[in-house]
Each structure stands twice: as C-alpha cells, then as structure tokens.
Structure 1
Amino acid sequence: SAPDKNPENIRVEASEPNEMVMKWEPLKPLERNGPGLEYKVSWRQRGVETDWNEELVNKHSLRLRNVPTFVPYEIKVQAVNNLGSGPEPNVTIGYSGEDVPDAAPSGVSVEVVNSTLVKVFWFGIPRDRVRGHLRGYKVNWWKTKSMLDGKRHHPEKHFLTFVGDRNYGMIPGLDPFSEFRLTVSAFNSRGDGPESSPVVFETPEGVPEQPRFLRIMNFDKDSVTLSWGLPKKANGHLTGYILQYQIINETHEVGAVSDVSVANRSVLSWHLAGLSPSTKYKFYIKACTAKGCGKAATEEGLTL
C-alpha cells in the first residue's frame, strides 16, 4: 500500500548566503508500506511564488542554490512509493541563508552621564537590511587622546554587545577627561554589518586616584614634616591637596579631624605645627580636581 504517513521534523538549515538545505526524518522501514520509497519535496517563496517547485529525492535532504538571501519559503515533504503517495503534507516555513547586515545604524548620539559612563542612542537598521534574524547591536569605542596632556593614544578598540532589537546602551569604565570615538553596528548570526560613521565625545574631569604614598619625613615634639606622591591618575587638572590629621590612641578613641588645604598643586610636602607632644596621630592626604577630591593615602606616627 501507499505510505500512510509523511516524514516529520522538517527543518531548514541555511548554511551559506543564497543557499538553503531542507532536511527531514526519514520514514522507518516498517512505515514504508511498500517498495520504491522516495520523497516528493515541494517548495515556493512565500508570498511571491504561487506555483510549487517539486523534486523527487531518495535521500533525506535537498540543497537549493542561488536562492535569494534570507527569504521565507513554504516547504512540504510527502512520502511516495511504487503503490502511491502518502497523505497531503503540512506546510513548514523556513528561511534561506543569512548574510551579514548591509546597513549601518543611523542617528548615533552620546549622552555623557559622568566622567566614566556614557549612554549611547541609535536608530536601528530597517528589517530588510538585516538579511537575517537580528541578534543585536555592537558599540565599538576607542580613546583618541587624553585632555590632560593632549597626548594621542594608540587606538585600542573596545566593544560591548546589546542583544535584541534595542536602540540604546550604557558604556561604563571610561577614562575621565578623555576624547573618544564611537561607532555602532548591527549583527546577525552571520556576523557584523558595517559600522556607523564615528561620533566624537569627551568625558569630563573626574576625581583623582589616591596619592601614591604619604610619608613622615621628620618628627618633632609639636610638629611634623610630611611628603606625598602624585596620584597615579589625576583624571583632570589637579587643583591641590587636602591634608587631614587626627589624634588616635590605643583605646580606639579618635580625635576630631583637622583639615589643611594645600591650594598649590605643585606642593608635595608640608610642615604641620601645633601638634601635642608624645601623641599618636593619623595623617591623610587627598588629591583634588575641580570635580572633587579622591581617596586618601594614610600614615600614622608619634610626636616626640
């Protein structure tokens, strides 16, 4: 008798652009119902072709070449033997092979949130330019120069991917007080599309990192000379330092903090007078920019 069922698990594997491989589970020997089993594969471009293309095959896949990139096809697979055809098969939808997107996002803009964080916006690319299933967008950026010394930087590229059909993303961890360039591209499972033309943006000043060290150079009974190192990264124009000190003793009681403002950024040492003799002090030094002061380097010591 003719087969009384059709192959199942009909699927499309689109490997290369302009190519489509249709696959299905073959019938088991007991389901063949007679000799000469073949598969009648029918396909047509959905919404474009009205007539079905047909081919009889005896394996369980069929490769089509020279098909348009990433378009939907209606596919049917019917079991046929020498005694007749199986039931009318169901239609499966599959897509021909993807290619990388061929358009770049437009309208890219950058909103600076703070000295290390920006928000990027873009307009997505039209669906017919994705040439596949859109996987998301990729933001690429690179530092072009430090605003502090104007030094050009070897552009080391960084990127972040934002999955899905979205039109903004946050870029954290940027260097403060620097100039950057940034592009956006769409990607699908074949790869990345073209990048948008670069947008230039600048991060504002941040607070400095902590000074490299704080040392007690000289102790007297009521005074001390301190020296300190520059911060590793200033993150802006240094305006000066804040020197703080307080009495500490072994009973964990701490005295009030006194502040000295060192308003000259090139000063890296200070003579502090008016201390109590034979007393343990803790000293703090913070570097400052117009944005504020950073973390303190600390040191402790005992007056004579």
Structure 2
Amino acid sequence: MAWNVCEVVPIFFTFFITFVMSMDPPTIQPFNFPPNVELGSQGRLVCGLQKGTLPVNFLWKKNDKEISFSRDSIQLIHHESFLVLEIREIAVSDIANYTCIARNSAGEDSYVAQLLVKAPPFWKEQPKDTEAVHGQSASLHCGIGGYPRPKITWKKAYGTQSKDFLVVHNEYKKTILENGTLVIDSLKEADEGVYTCEAENGVGEGIQATVRLSVHAPPTVTSVKRRTSAKRGETAVIECEITGEQPLLVSWEKDGTKLTMPFTRFETYEEANGKGVKATLLISNVQRRDQGNYLCSVQNDYGSVKDVTALTVQEPPESPSDVKVISVNSRSAQVIWGAPSGISTSIKQFVIMFWKNSKVSGKLHQVSLTSTETSTLLRDLQPGNEYTVQLLAENDVGRGDPSDPVTFETKEEEPEAPPVDVEVEAADSHTLQISWKPPPTDTWNGQLKGYHVGYKVEGSASQLAYETVIKTNLREEKTLLRNLRPSTRYSVAVNAFNSAGDGPASEEIVTSTLNGDPPQSPEVKVKNVSQTSVTIMWSPRVNSDASVEQYVLEYVDTDQNKQEFHAPGSHKEYCIEGLESGQRYSIRVAAYNMFGRGDFSPSLVVITEGNARVPGYEPIVHETPFYFRLYFVIPVVASVTVILCVIVVAWACLKRAHYIEGRKAQLYVSYQQRLTYVPPSEISRDSRAVDAAYDIPWDVPNGGGSMGRDRSSYVKLKQGQNYV
C-alpha cells in the first residue's frame, strides 16, 4: 500500500506531540547541607528526582556559575535518577550557594542549598596606615570574614602613650559601614591618632589590628587686602598671610602672568611665624602698567590656595572695557563700550580709533566723543573689508592706554566692476581659451569667490550659458569652453562674484572656433640602438582635417638636458646621433599641421649600448638589464602604443562624427591667427602649453612660411574688438 506524504506527515507530528505530552518534567527532591559544618569536614549533597520521566540530565552550579572541578576534593557521582556532589575537605572558598538543575525533554527544575561553615574571624583586607587632608574624608578599612558574621569594633587611642582606647560609635562625622570600614568626614587635627579594629564571632579567637591616621593641613590664606592703591612713583605693598603644614611654597602672578624673581622693581620676601608664613610683594617706583590683579599662590604637599589683591595706580584712566562691535552693515558699524574702572580723576572724553586691515597700511581715523557716550556709529566704511577698532579714555592727567583691538568685517556687496583684460582665443575646433584679470581690488566689496563665464552663439536669441570658475591666487585667470561647434562664432563675457552676488559682466567678445584640429600623437617605435645613436620610427595617426606638415622630436638625457629636432611631414624615422654610451634617454614625437602642434607621443626610455663613463674612474662592465634591452623595450612599447591608439582613434572618431553633424559651412582660418594654449591642469594636452605651442620649423630657420613664425607673430583677441 503506497503512503501519501500529505497523509504521513500529520500522522508523524500527531505521534510526536502525543509522545512529548506523555512525558513528565523533572521535579527535584529538596536537599540541604547538614547544620554546623566546620572547615576541613566533609559535605555531601544528593540531587535526586522526586518525579519525572527518564532520561534526565543533571548539572551543578556554584553561585550561578558552572562548577569547575579544579580541586581533587570535589567529586561528582552520577546516576540516571540522581547526582551526588561531594566535598571531602571543606575550605573557606567552598562557602557558596549550590544549585542543582535537572532537565529532560518535557522541562527542567532546579533547587538551591547554601553551604555555611563555622569559621573564626579572618582578614579579607588588613587595615593600613592612612594619610588624609584636613577638611576632607578618610576611610579606615577593616575587611573581616568568618561565620557566624563577626562583630567589628573600632577604638581610638587617647593620651600621650596611646595605650588607652575609647570605643568609636556611629555619630556625627563618624560612620561604621557593614563591611567594617570606618569613615570620618570633615577631618580635623583632633581626628588624627591611632585606631584599633577588633573582630570576634564566638568561633575561635578574635583578631585585631592597629593603624595610624595622619591628618595633614593644606595652606590657607588668613589675611589679605582685597584692594590697595599707590600713586605713581611710590612703593606699593601687597601682603598675604598663610597657615598650613610646612614647607609652604609662595609664588606671585600679575593678571595671569607669573612673576619670576629677580624682576625689575619687584621684590618678595617671606617671614615665618608659629603657624605659617607672611608673604610680602614690594613694587618700587609704581607705574601705570603695574596696575592690575596680583595673585598670591601658596602650595604644599597637601593642597594649594590662591588669593587676589587689586592694585590701583592713580594715573591716567584705564582703557574702556567690554568694547564690542554690533549691528555691522556693509558701510557702517556700531561700537559700544563700558567705562574704565579704578581711575583717579574723572574722564574728560573718549577717543575712538579705527582703520581698514589691508596689506597696505590703512588710514587711521580718530573721533573724539564725550565722557557720557557709551556707543557710536562708524560711517563711510567699505563693504566686505576687515576693520580694527580701539578706544582710549582721557582725563586731566592724560590719555590712558588703548583698549584691546577688536576686529570686525563689514558685510559684502556685489562687485562694482567687471574683470579686465579679457581675451578669447580658439584652442581647437571645439574649444575656446578665455583669460582675464580680476577687477580692481577696491571694487571687490568682499572676497571674490570666482567668476561666471557666459557664452552663446553669436546672434542667437537664447540666453548666455554659464560656466563657473573658482578664483585662484594667480594674477591671471584662465579656463576652457569645451564641446563647442566647429567653425562657429561665439559671444563671450565674464563677471566676478562674491558671497553677496554677481558683479557686472565684461563687454562681450566674439570669437570663432577653428574648422580643424591639430594631429594626434604618432605611434613611435625604436628601430635601432648603438653606443652613440638611436634610430626611431613613427607612424602618423590620420585626423583627416589636415595633412601633417612637420614633426618635432624631443629627447631628454639623464641630467634632464633637453634637445629638439624637426623633420618634414614626409619623414617617418630619424637617427639621433652624438649620444653617450650606456646612458638613459627619454624620447617622444609630436606632429604639426596647419592648425598647430598635436600631443606628444608617450615617452620611450632607451639606454644606449656600452658602459657609462665616469670621469676619474675606470669603466666597470655591467650587463644591461633585460628590461632595458631593445628586444624587450620595443614589444612593451608597441603593446602600450596599440592600447593608446585604440583609445585615441575611438575618441577621434566620436569627435569627428559630432564635428560633421554640427558642421553647416566651411570656415578656413589663417594659420597665423592661431594661438594654441591649454592650462597646466589639462594634463592630457600637456604638449599644448604656451611655451611649447609653436616651434621654429625645420625648414625655415628665420620663422618664415606658413609654419615659420615665432610667438611674436601670435594674434590675440582683445576685449571690445570683433574679428573675422
């Protein structure tokens, strides 16, 4: 008969549930240790079942932790219905709560028995001599164990011989904790002395220990004048009387600065008395700068204390206090202050001074105010600039010191002027190079954040599209406008901006992109290497915009000396002669067409054959490493070149497709009106830097012909001019 799975599973679970329900969970028979157990005796606990279905698993725990049977005196005796815990020689460490746990498939049960052993008092923590500070609290520990729990008594010796003791009770400032610790709060000299801790519990002999409590006195200033005064030229006397445990170390500070002796016109001395020291600070020929707060600082091994005396010199007034600048706007700010303190004569007037912080010293402005004024409004400030303001008070004696300088910054306004010397040049058929200089500094009205470069197709009704350029610290800013249409005239304008907004834009400049691009870098290989020459060969990468008119070959030796050679566009190899044997050279090649020079090829590293010559030394023969040999260099360079070619050709094809799609009319630009430039940040076009943009052609040494011109023949497009 075949069983259906859907029928078997319910039957199985029904059987399982019926089986489990028929089992009884375990119930443990109560057990206990015998009474009056003593140390060294034997203890036994039997954890047995009162009822429950077998099999049953038993487990013993001591103080809720599974028992570790590291002692030979502890053993377990197993049986299927009970478990015996046997301790042969009971020790102090065995005093604990013992729990038996029984489990079966239906549940579990547990039972706890406490093992108490009669033991005489013993030390858990021996009392120790204690040192404490006057006014603080001290704890005298007396950690005692034993069963029954010992009774602990504290006693304090009195009299000169320290042989007579009085019992210490729980009272004001004194507390005996349950663990036997004696705590004494707010210590005084009378609390110092000898203390004894005694313990007994009726089992064996009691124990006791004697300790000493030492109370040390920190320094305390008992007398000081809070304020004192002196006239200019007189001698000021500042005194400070201190008590405390010797030795006492005294130091002086003025307005937070430590006075290190010997100090000009300052003198200190101390006079010891029965309980402490009287310290004196003398200031001869008092000057106005001596006015301030003098701090008497005293310390010993148990604490420190400080107290201040304010010295007033009857002189011109102090500087105004709490000078603040509030309600700062772009062209005004309000200054408020409080009257100076400790002056000898009434104030006649206040003088406020302010100036602009700049690299060039700002003009100092001074305004006199009446003695009753506590605020003023500074006017005619420049937006976005930092200013410093100071105040001083004047009385019949003279002007006091100025207040601490307060710096504030006026709110920014939009720049007032556009960038200057804006120039726009075509970099290639899809890119324009824009350069400019910042507006005059006094028109920034704050800190320039950057520039917005706006552009659109000339005559277009659409709004200018903008690119943001973050300001640098260079004297001239530059950027590139990319992804433009070839042979198309664009209107370009630049404006500066700060946190307040945009300034006015420069006049729009109209410039056309080129109708072609310089050639791509050729694929270069090493053909031959000798001791004094290297022959390289290259294959041009065709742009189809214009044919290659010439090549420039550049090599650099180990000392970073650079040499260049030019070859006609029809040449495909070149032999560099006059090289040194055994030297390392880095070689690269770039191509020219009517639109300018393209990128240099990746550098080839070649080492000429032979040994390098060192002046004054005989040549040492070293075998050239295999990774520098020609048979290794050429395949590696060829592989890298192939990869680069695939990337460059794919890019060129995509660029050409966009160029043809957007091209509506043929535009030819004179070669002599071409200025090639890409900023240093454009790493991928490092060969387009201004210093290497155009070289003297190989066949025109004086700079003639379509390729023969130096940088003096560049045509730059200026702001405010149109070019066709």
Give the TM-score band, short-chain normalised. 0.3 to 0.5
Larger radius of gyration: 2
User: Which structure's residues are more often strand, by fraction?
Assistant: 1
Tell me the TM-score normalised to structure 1 length: 0.46
Tell me the TM-score normalised to structure 2 length: 0.22
